Structure 1
Amino acid sequence: MSRKHPIIAITGSSGAGTSTVTETFQQIFTRESITAAIVHGDSFHRYDRAEMRTIHNTAIEQGKNPPSHFGPEANDFAALEALFADYGANASGKVRSYVHDAEEERQFGCPPGTFTPWEDIEAGTDLLYYEGLHGAVRTEEVDVARHVDLCIGVVPIINLEWIQKIHRDRSARGYSTEAVTDMILRRMPDYVNYICPQFNNTDINFQRVPMVDTSNPFIARWIPTPDESMTVIRFANPRGIDFPYLSAMIPGSFMSRANSIVVPGGKTELAMQLIFTPMIWRLIDNSRKARGLPGLDRRDHS
């Protein structure tokens, strides 16, 4: 953690919905005139698409379970921790992007399935924002979580997570249901060992629970809508959280435990705005004061 140069990390599995949370944070950053260095977790994959395919095929031929993007073999956890440590100390570090498709090829000038060159983080940022699979990972070799000032877990129940992943990978990436199912099965050991334990290290978890039948996610024709869901929001440390205020501001919400509030799925973004905005104010105010700068100007945020 760093008072001068804070780090926010959004962590969740593939298909969990971390990109939706990122959209909410970007709205807050724009409204509050905060400059964030945005880092995507897939930029710390160890192999590009062609290399990963070769490694996968070789493992299958040898009768082994191929490495997955959930685990350490296919990711450079040490480089991710080094970035967080560098940023926390000096607001510096090396970043790159993974190019997913033709649209990003036009943006970055690199072929899909490859990485852009490593570059220095732009000077003058207020914070580092990470979104990906491993923002709170801990292993015997690395401890990424210890560098994070605000860590958010996005954890829909497993059947909903699979439904979202299947629909995304079929529509956006052209995979068949069978291919996505095979991927889910192969990743399961790494999911259990490296994804799930992170949610013990987060400050807040958002877990969307559908109110419709998702018994067989592999045949589901639609993703449950937000209005067909409830979201459980769990705080690791509820001290300082104004639950009466949240309950008053979010119709249909209720406390399920002393550290948890449940909100209608359609009100999740509102809940995020209400919860995250004052947390970001505190991080930035503390950062600017530590650097001898004035705090945020909140006179007009309409």
Structure 2
Amino acid sequence: MSRKHPIIAITGSSGAGTSTVTNTFQQIFDRERIRSAIVHGDSFHRYDRAEMRAQHNKAVEEGRPPLSHFGPEANDFEALESLFENYAEGGTGRIRQYVHDEIEEAELGSPPGTFTPWEDLPAGSDLLYYEGLHGAVRTDAVDIAKHVDLCIGVVPIINLEWIQKIQRDKSARGYSTEAVTDMILRRMPDYVHYICPQFNNTDINFQRVPMVDTSNPFTARWIPTPDESMTVIRFKNPRGIDFPYLSAMIPGSFMSRANSIVIPGGKTDLAMQLIFTPMIWRLIDNSRKARGLPGLPQKPTY
């Protein structure tokens, strides 16, 4: 953690909905004129698409479990931790981009399925923002979570997570249901050992719970809408959270535990705006003061 150079991390599995949270943060950054250095977790995969396919085929030939993007063998956790350490210390670090498709190829200049060259982060950012699979990972070799000032977990119940992944991979990537199901099964050991434990390390978890039948995610034809869902928001440390204010601002919400509030799924973006905005103000204000700069003008608190 760093008072001078704060880090925010959004962590969640494939299909969890981390991109939706990133959109909300981007709105806050734009509105508050905060300069964020944005880092995507797939930039720290160890292999590009062709190399990962070769590793998979080799494992199958040798009778070993194939690598998964959830585990340490397919990810450079050390490089990610080094980025967080360097940014926390001096607001610097090295990143690259993973190129997903032809649209990004035109923008980034590298073929789909490859990485761009490593380069320095742009100078002058107010904070580092990470979105990916491993923003709160702890292993025997690394402790990425300890470097993060605000860590958010995005954790829909697992049937909903699978429905979202299956529908996304079928529509956006052209996979069959069988292929996505096989991927889910292959990733399960790493999901249990490296994805789930992170949510004990996060500051806030958002868990969407559908109010419609999702008993068999592998035959579901559509993703439950936000209005067909409730969202459970759990705070690791509820001190300073104004639950009466949140309840008043979000109709239909209620407290389920002393550190948890349940809200209608369609109000999740509003809840994120209300919760995150003052937290980001405090991070930036403390950062500016620690660097000898004037603090932010006083703003209303929630």
Which TM-score tier does this pair reach, normalised by the shorter chain?
Answer: over 0.9
Alignment of 1:129-140 (within 5 A): 129-140=129-140
Q: Any idea what the Cα deviations from partners look like across 1:228-286, whole Å, max 9, x if unmatched? A: 00000000000000000000000000000000000000000000000000000000000
How far off is 1:296 after superposition? 2.6
Distance 1:279 1:22 in 2: 15
Q: Output the TM-score relative to the length of structure 2.
A: 0.98
Unaligned runs of 5+ in 1: none
Which amino acid is 1:290 matched to? A
1:232 maps to which residue?
232
Q: Quick check: 1:96 aligned with 2:93?
A: no
Distance 1:103 1:173 in 2: 14
Distance 1:155 1:287 in 2: 29
How far off is 1:298 after superposition? 5.9
How far off is 1:225 after superposition? 0.0
2:200 maps to which residue?
200
Distance 1:295 1:46 in 2: 40
Secondary structure class of the residue paired with 1:84? helix
2:56 maps to which residue?
56
Q: Any idea what the Cα deviations from partners look like across 1:142-163, whole Å, max 9, x if unmatched? A: 0000000000000000000000
Quickly say closer, same or farther: Cα 1:173–1:297, change in 2 above 3 A: farther
Q: Quick check: 1:220 aligned with 2:220?
A: yes
Distance 2:225 2:295 in 1: 39
Which amino acid is 2:81 matched to? E
Q: What is the percentage of aligned positions where both structures have the same residue?
A: 84
Secondary structure class of the residue paired with 1:73? helix
Q: Output the TM-score relative to the length of structure 1.
A: 0.98
Distance 1:62 1:4 in 2: 49
Distance 2:98 2:232 in 1: 32
Distance 1:242 1:226 in 2: 24
Distance 1:243 1:288 in 2: 28
2:126 maps to which residue?
126
Distance 1:236 1:34 in 2: 26
2:169 maps to which residue?
169
Q: Quick check: 1:25 aligned with 2:18?
A: no
Q: Quick check: 1:143 aligned with 2:128?
A: no
Secondary structure class of the residue paired with 1:138? coil
Alignment of 1:242-281 (within 5 A): 242-281=242-281
Distance 2:227 2:76 in 1: 38
Which amino acid is 1:263 matched to? I
Distance 2:221 2:254 in 1: 31
Q: Any idea what the Cα deviations from partners look like across 1:137-195, whole Å, max 9, x if unmatched? A: 00000000000000000000000000000011111111111110000000000000000
Distance 1:203 1:153 in 2: 8
Distance 2:266 2:63 in 1: 45
How far off is 1:297 after superposition? 3.8
Distance 1:182 1:107 in 2: 32
1:16 maps to which residue?
16
1:155 maps to which residue?
155
Secondary structure class of the residue paired with 1:237? coil
Which amino acid is 1:120 matched to? D
Secondary structure class of the residue paired with 2:294? coil
1:178 maps to which residue?
178
Runs of 4 or more above 4 Å deviation: none
Quickly say closer, same or farther: Cα 1:110–1:298, change in 2 above 3 A: farther
CA root-mean-square deviation? 0.9
Distance 1:263 1:53 in 2: 42
Secondary structure class of the residue paired with 1:262? strand
Q: Any idea what the Cα deviations from partners look like across 1:2-50, whole Å, max 9, x if unmatched? A: 0000000000000000000000000000000000000000000000000
Which amino acid is 1:144 matched to? I
Distance 1:57 1:232 in 2: 40
Q: Higher mean Cα deviation, 59-68 or 127-136?
A: 59-68
Secondary structure class of the residue paired with 2:74? coil
Q: Quick check: 1:115 aligned with 2:115?
A: yes
Distance 1:267 1:120 in 2: 38
Unaligned runs of 5+ in 2: none
Q: Quick check: 1:78 aligned with 2:78?
A: yes
Distance 2:49 2:298 in 1: 45
Secondary structure class of the residue paired with 2:134? coil
